[in-house]
Amino acid sequence: MTATVTLHPGPGAGFEEPFEMLEACHQRVHRMLGLLQRLAAHLRESGADANAQQAARDVMRYFDLAAPAHHEDEERHVLPRLRQGDQAVLADRLHDEHARMATTWAAVRADLVRVAEGGWQATELDAAAARWQAMAALYAAHIEAEESAAYPAVRKSADAAALHAMGDEMARRRGLPGLA
């Protein structure tokens, strides 16, 4: 039921390749959302035992730390370039979805705090599982739009210097050394 949460890029994705980094983050989002769905099944079968509590903490750690940084990356580097081109409607949609994700996350996080702290009640599961599924659906549609439309559009318009500056800023904002 537990999962190791990696808050930095894997060996194949670094800040030198910012879009690969963003896509690697999407893979981690999918893994965390999968863990969230497994947590719902585990709670139904076993209740809020130690494994459930750890899984809740793992999901919270990821969505509290990595997801906001990822959304900030997109707000700073992807959405402005979409707006400069002919993709303002897509940029506005993605921006609005970031806001909805934050609101949805606040409700899901409150559920997970109760699980992690042992205050979970079995009667909460159906409503919580519906919130968790809604969050997963929102992220799935959002990621699909980014990977199929937003990222390709921005990649076409960004030269090597722009990609370098993007990766450098992303690294520095996370307290890491900038790119050489």
Q: Position 143: which residue type?
A: I
Residue whose C-alpha is closest to residue 56's, from 41, 35, 70: 35
| pLDDT of 7 | 40
Residue range 15-74, pLDDT digits in tens: 999 999 999 999 999 999 999 999 999 999 999 999 999 999 999 999 999 999 999 999
- Residue labelled with tokens 């081109």: 85
CATH class of 18-171: mainly alpha
| pLDDT of 81 | 97
Report the C-alpha gap between 79 and 60 in whole angstroms: 26
**pTM across the whole model:** 0.89
- The domain segmentation of the chain, as residue ranges, is 18-171
| pLDDT of 180 | 77
HSE, side-chain direction, 13 A CA sphere, residue 103:
8
| pLDDT of 12 | 55
First to last CA, the chain: 40
Which alpha helices (H) appear in the chain, and where do they start and end?
18-46, 50-73, 79-84, 88-116, 125-145, 151-157, 160-173
| pLDDT of 62 | 97
| pLDDT of 8 | 42
* CA 72 to each of CA 68, 77, 123, 145: distance values in angstroms, whole numbers, following the listed order: 6, 8, 36, 17
Residue range 78-130, pLDDT digits in tens: 999 999 999 999 999 999 999 999 999 999 999 999 999 999 999 999 999 99
